[in-house]
Structures are given as structure tokens and as C-alpha cells.
Chains A and B, each alone.
Chain A
Amino acid sequence: MTQTYENAPRTAAARVSAGTSLAAFLLDGSHFVGRQVRALLRQPAFLVITLVQPVIWLLLFGQLFKRVSEIPGFATGSYVAFLTPGIVVMTALFSSGWAGMGFIIDMERGVLNRFLVTPAPRGSLIAGNLGYLALTSVIQSLIIIGLGLATGARFPGGPGSLAALIGCAVLLAAAFGSFSNALALLLRSQESVISVAQLLVLPLSFLSSSLMPENLLPGWIHGVARFNPVNWAVVAGRETLHQDVDWGIVASRASWLLLLALACGWLSTRAFRAYQRSV
């Protein structure tokens, strides 16, 4: 009895402390997001530059391969409509490959160490980085979808399916961004982070149904694509093209992406510890 009584205030204290640390985590995470947003608003050209590539894909690639939709077995009427979810996912992937650069620049400037000696939770640094990545991915996705609509793409799946597409793109960005952050913290050089990103981004895009429907992919690529997180996001996103959205497919792909994002997030916190041990 006494034991329980004595424990009560301690548990309450622990709960308060857990509550304040979650609040601190979210609050400091938002400060770090705000810092990057401010830097972006000072150089909005950067956002435009990151959109050049998807626009080229959508407008030029979409026009060049317009008649792909006439191939027997191609289910969607318009190639641009088919392409749009793929480009949304690819753009999120491309942007997230650069996520670790922020850490590298902060590391070189000594800013990261300064943050690490403040009471801000370590995780809020990673959360701030991923939160910013999520924010920019949502903006980029909306712009690409708008561009798709303007060039004649239609999404019978409706707003709910488009939201699911954006959600999956954000999860993929969070996973790949965490991976990029982990690389940055372990390798600590701009070159290595960029080269690993470049090495992975294009193959992962081509080994998926981003540009070509699954049923028209060569057998081996189809096989590989089943394990490719980029393809999970594309498959879920392509439900936007169907009147009857298969929410089971969307939910399963989204949950795989969520698990992957959590695993990569865990990896990046481990990398953070390794960084601090050797600093």
C-alpha cells in the first residue's frame, strides 16, 4: 500500500516530464523548421530551381512519350495523367536526397555543435529537418498536380486519393531524407552525401512504375519493383486515376512506407550518437 502511495507522485512527475519533453521536442522542432523556411523565403529561387526538373519531366517527357498510352495494355487514357503521380513521387525522392546537406553545412559552420549544447532535444534537430522536407514536398506536390491538371490530366479518384498520394510522397521523403541525414552524420562530407543520393535516385526511379505501368514492365524490373519503396508510393498514388479507389492498396503501401520511414528515422538517431561520440 505504502509502496503504491509513494510511487504515485513519482509517476505523475515522470508523466509531467515526458509531457514537457514532448512539448519541447515539438516546439524546438518547429523552431528549426522556421529557421529553414526563413532561409528559403530569402532565396525563393531555390524552390523554383527544384521545380525545374519535375516540370521538364512532366511537360517534355509527357509530350515526347504521349503515344505510349496507345500501347496495348496501357490502361490509362492520358500519359500525362499517368505520369503525374510518378513525377510527384520522383520529385519528393530527389529533394530528400539533399536533406543531409543541411546537417553538413551546419557541421562545417559549427552551428550543429552550438545546437547540441542547448537543452533542445537531439531528436528535434532531426524532426526539424524532416518537417521542413515534408513541408517543401507538399508544396512541390501541389504545384506538380496543378501543372498536371493544367495540361489535361484528370484524377477521378478525387481529393482524398490526391491527399493519399501526397502523404505517400512525404513518407518516402521522410524515409530517404533520414537515410541522407544518417549518411551526412556518418560521412560528414558534401561530396559523399551527393554522390550516394545521385547513385540511388535514378535507379530507384527507373526500377519502378513511375514512367511505365507495372503490367508493361519487363519481368525482372517488375520483380525488383515490388521491393522498391519508390514503387510503393507510385502504386498508392496511381489510385488517384481510378474512379473506385482501392483503399486497401493505398493503406498497405502507406503502412510499408511508414515502417521504412520509422526504421530510417531510428538509423539517423543512431548516426547522431555516433557523431557525438567522435566529435
Chain B
Amino acid sequence: MPADRAIEVRDLVKTYPGDVRALAGISFAVPAGTVFGLLGPNGAGKSTTVKILTTLTRADSGTATVAGIDVGRQPNRVRRAIGCVFQKAAVDLEATGRENLVLQGRLYGLHGGGLRARADELLGRFGLAEAADRITRTYSGGMQRKLDVAMGLVHRPRVLFLDEPTTGLDPEARAEMWTEINRLSTAEGLTVLLTTHYLDEADRLADRLAIVDRGGIVAEGTPEELKSELRGDAIVVELAADLAATAPATATAAGGGAGAAAGGGAGGAAGGAALERVRGTLAGLNGSLRELTLDGRTLRARVDSGASAVPAVLAALDAGGIPVASATVARPSLDDVYLRYAGRAFSAANAEEPR
């Protein structure tokens, strides 16, 4: 394995009891000293990936190495090399901030003056010095989260796992956390694996990111690369009626394949036929509309300039006899990135898998 790969994941598969397939063969590699983001909705498999890489649970098949060590074969060596911050702040509420840090350090074999100094250093760095000897039950959510990250760093890990580190934080606490994560990777050369379902967070922090959906990776690259494929605005037009439901059964077969490939339609030939009808209606605007999809009554497309395209689209639909209920224009959002790569809306994916 190349020495500059801090994390290497190959074909991880994990199924939970009750036949819930969390990972369907996920693979990626993280160069040492970089921040890598796993972006996706709840239930996509991000947390499961982190749990396997941090030795909390085992994969059914596939291999993974962290800091060059196999997580399945030598979990204990991996544990010494990594720091973990899980989704929920894992802080002992009956202990003070300092006691939490010191116990954590002891479990990694630190002791004496070295441990005391390290605890003081981290408490200072995370702005917790004043609250250090208070019971953490009295801490705010942001303070607990900071202590949580400090605990993950107490033994100076080489690789840090951050599972949705800013979920549930207020904007101010989130900005502070971003600054700290940036500092860790740039000033300390730490490798960071970050999971998030916020596009802005992945954009701001990650050197590279992978979009995860249904237990696999659907796209990977730098945030710039991924966004450059999403140039322009999204326009969303809500039709007054579901065309697929009212389409004649003998719809033309000309573009069935294209309709199916666009995905998310009301299903089968009717959905494809409906999309073809819209496509035909908007033929006059061809060239300016990209990634045209129809999902039930929702028509989406990408254009260079939403403000000038919307009137033309509305006029064309009106002329084609397709009544419209509403139309909106939006800058590229997580929903769009997600829709582009996973073939369905982020909000729909989030609702569908409750894990």
C-alpha cells in the first residue's frame, strides 16, 4: 500500500440484522494530510463507513486500512492511531470537562504531568479553560461538542474521524468548528475524514469529497470539480397535472430509453412518454436547457441564466397546452448536486431511509 494513503477502503459491504444493507461495496482512498468529505443524506452509509473504519463494528466483506493498518486484522493498533468524534457528543455528563479529557487520555496510556499538560493545552485551545472544572451537564451544546473534539485529539492521533461534527450546532458554533477543523489539517498535518449532509460544509472543509448514496459512492472529486459540472441555475416548474397519469397508453416509443435513463419518473412507459412530450414542447429552447427531468408533476432543468430562461419555458409550456402551477429558480444546491449524481432529490432520499 502506498505510504501516502492515510485511508484506503476497498469494496466494504455491511448488512445489519433484518437485511438492512448499509454498505453495498464502497471504495475510496484518502491521501495523508488532507480532509476528505463523505457527503450524503441520512442512511446513505456514511456513519456505517466511519463505524467500520474506527473499529466500532466489522464489515461483512471487503478490506480497509487506516494509517496503513488493516482495521479487521489489527483493530487495536488502528485504535491507537485514530481519533473519533461521533455524531452525538459523547461526553460523560456527570464529570467535569477536565475529568472527561483525563480519563480519555488514560485509556490511551497517557499519564502524569504529560497528560495534565495535554489536557490544559486542549482546554485552552477549544476555549474551555474557564469551564474546565465544571460538570459538563452545565455546558452548552457547542461547548460539549468542542470538548468532544478535544477528547478525540488527546492522544495526538494521525487520522481523525468526524461524523457530522456540526449537526445541531448554532451558526456561530459551527463557524468556530470549521475554523478548528481547517487548522487541524493545515497546521498539524492531520488526515481528517469528515461526514456531512451539508454541502457548504463539505465545500468549505474538504480537499476532496465523495457523494454517497445507498451504500456506494456515486461521484468523487474536489468540490470545484463536482460543482463545475453544475454550472448555472436550477429551474423547477410545478405542473398543474401529472402528465404521466393522463398520458394516452399508446404514447410514442421514440424516446422510451431516454425517459427511463432520466429516472424518477412516475414509472414505466407513461413517465417516459410524459417526459418526451415535455421535451418536444420545449424543443424550441433546445441547447439552453440541460439535465431535463420530470418527477411526477415536478419538472427540473439546469440553465445558464434562470431569470431569462423561465419566461421562455413558461411561454413554451403554455403554447404546448401544458398548464403550470408554479415556477422557481435556484442557485446550485445540495439537492441539485445530489440529483445530478444520485438521480433523485436529496430530500426524497432522506425521507426514504429513516436510519
Contacts and interface: CB of A to CB of B under 8 A. Distances in A.
B122 to A, nearest CB: 15
Nearest to A119: B79
Interface string A1-44: 00000000000000000000000000010010001001100100
Nearest to B111: A27
A114 interface: yes
Nearest to A40: B94
A193 to B, nearest CB: 19
A38 B98 CA distance: 13
B79 A113 contact: no
B55 interface: yes
A120 interface: yes
Contacts of A276: 56-58
B253 interface: no
Given A31-B107, A38-B99, A278-B17, A117 B89 contact: no
B94 A117 contact: no
A39 B95 contact: yes
A115 interface: yes
Interface string B161-197: 0000000000000000000000000000000000000
A259 interface: no
A118 B104 CA distance: 8
B328 interface: no
A34 to B, nearest CB: 8
Interface stretch (B4-12, B36-44, B80-88, B278-286): B80-88
Given A39-B94, A117-B82, A31 B88 contact: no
Given A118-B104, A119-B109, A109 B92 contact: yes
Interface residues of B, number: 32
A75 interface: no
Contacts of B76: 119
A110 B51 contact: no
A116 B95 CA distance: 19
B86 A113 contact: yes
Contacts of B55: 116-117
A273 B213 CA distance: 29
A71 interface: no
Interface in A83-120: 106, 109-111, 113-120
A113 B82 CA distance: 14
Contact of B91 (A42, A111, A119, A277): A111
B107 A28 contact: yes
B56 A109 contact: no
B16 A118 contact: no
Interface string B30-58: 00000000000000000000010011111
23 contacts: A31-B107, A38-B94, A42-B94, A106-B92, A110-B90, A111-B90, A111-B92, A113-B56, A113-B90, A116-B55, A117-B79, A117-B82, A118-B79, A118-B107, A119-B107, A119-B108, A119-B109, A276-B57, A278-B16, A278-B17, A278-B57, A279-B56, A279-B57
Interface of B: 16-17, 51, 54-58, 76, 79-80, 82, 84, 86-95, 99, 103-104, 106-109, 135, 151
Sorted nearest first, the 4 A-B pairs with minimum C-beta distance are A110-B90, A114-B90, A118-B107, A110-B88
Given A109-B88, A109-B91, A117-B82, 16 more contacts: A31-B106, A35-B95, A35-B99, A38-B95, A106-B92, A111-B92, A113-B56, A113-B86, A114-B84, A116-B55, A117-B54, A117-B55, A118-B104, A276-B57, A279-B56, A279-B57
